Amino acid sequence: MNKPWSSAKLKDVCHKITDGTHKTPIYQDNGIVFLSARNIKNGALCFSNHKFISEKEHNDLTRRCKPEEGDVLLSKSGSLGDAVVIPKLEFVFSIFESLALLKIKKDILMPSFLNQYLNSPFSKRYFWSITSGIAVKHLHLVDLKEMPIVIPPLKIQHIIVDTLNVWDKTINKTKALITVKERQFEWLMNNLIIKPSNNLLSSRKLSNLSKLKKGQQLNRILLTKTDLFPAWNGGITPSGYTDTWNTPEGTVTISEGGNSCGFVNYCKEKFWCGGHCYALLEISHEIDPEFLFYFLKAHEKQIMSLRVGSGLPNIQRRDIEKLEIAYPQLSEQRKIVRILSEAQKEISILKLLTDKYIHQKRGLMQKLLTGAWQVLKLQEEVA
């Protein structure tokens, strides 16, 4: 017969649950690696932004909390509830209080199974339900130890982990491909827009090529999540949606105010242009609107540097209008737009694909890790 699934509390499947030092150590330029919650990213340990402490202090800290291969680290604050299994490393390290250390009873539970369990959507919801703090949320060990967990037989754990690892590898490969494509896009922007090889360029101020019009503020109460037209009002995403529009499709916009002021966008559909957003209208026949978008996007950091004010920063119309726009012949502009649009389309497709894989994996985790799907056929194979 197949062994039944059991349930327990997290403290029952661990030899020890503790956390890193609560006292900020003395940092050095080199020495023993010292990690905090920010060093867990995308299900892996990240050593690109860590600190160092002395060997003596490390030895003192590891008397109480000694991270070792096969232990699980869990972020207690910041990016809440991110878990990772400590891999085999060529060096030792210590941890800060923002990380919990779980030493697992491996005769009951696979570290990789617990890692998947802790990173699941239902575990995230549980963590948020037991946190404290207003500005920064914190997990407390006393609450963490009481976390309920379901435990399938070890052979079933192996099958579940192997299944979820397939999705993880697919997601990671797709993300890596996105990184490559984004670097390629930056190279294209640099060589086609910022430092083009074509010397036959015209140059005019933006005010001579387009009319900058500030939008009209729309009461947030009138915005919905389901209406047809997006309302752009200074952020990097729409503030909401409305049933009317005041700006035509194919319009370049620049955020006027707020933390994202200077953000450049190209709206392919009719939209409502809000009071913290500039729309570039009446564009000269000398320049393709999408080429103008890519030119401004390539110089977005320069535009953002024009912001003034400390409380609610903004960018003055006159400063944007002074921007010098360099552009080739219209036929060349359109060639550049086709190249950049195709590269951007590839990135968008890959991001949608990644989101789809992540969504599918979350659904799979919900079913497999909770026992909602008992994987009967798989159980029969390993019984």
Domains of the chain: 6-151 (3.90.220.20), 152-201+328-383 (1.10.287.1120), 212-315 (3.90.220.20)
Q: What is the DSSP letter of 193?
A: I
* Residues counted in the chain: 383
d(CA 177, CA 180): 5
CA nearest neighbour of 231 among 265, 180, 171, 274 = 274
| Backbone φ and ψ of 42, nearest 5° | 55, 40
Q: For residues 309 and 276, is the Cβ–Cβ distance under 8 A?
A: no
d(CA 98, CA 81): 10
d(CA 263, CA 297): 8
**Per-residue model confidence (pLDDT) at position 201:** 84
Residue-by-residue pLDDT tens, the chain, 383 positions: 457 889 999 999 999 999 999 999 999 999 999 999 999 988 889 988 899 999 999 999 999 999 999 999 999 987 788 999 999 999 999 999 999 999 999 999 999 999 999 999 999 999 988 887 666 778 999 999 999 999 999 999 999 999 999 999 999 999 999 999 999 999 999 999 998 877 678 999 999 999 999 999 988 888 998 889 999 998 999 999 999 999 999 999 999 988 899 999 999 999 999 999 999 999 999 999 999 999 999 999 999 999 998 778 899 999 999 999 999 999 999 999 999 999 999 999 999 999 999 999 988 888 888 777 766 554 454 44
CA nearest neighbour of 212 among 328, 114, 292, 268 = 292
Strand 229-232 relative to strand 272-273: parallel, antiparallel, unpaired? parallel
Three-state DSSP at 37 gives helix
Q: What is the DSSP letter of 21?
A: B
N- to C-terminal Cα distance for the chain? 7
Residues facing residue 41 across a β-bridge: 44
Q: For residues 38 and 79, is the Cβ–Cβ distance under 8 A?
A: yes
Q: Read off the pTM.
A: 0.80
| Backbone φ and ψ of 315, nearest 5° | -120, 130
d(CA 93, CA 353): 36
d(CA 88, CA 309): 50
Buried b (16+ CB within 10 A) or exposed e, 100-133: bbbbbeeeebbbbbbbbbbbbeebeebbeeebee
Give me the helices (H) in 81-153, please: 111-118, 121-129, 141-144
d(CA 135, CA 33): 28
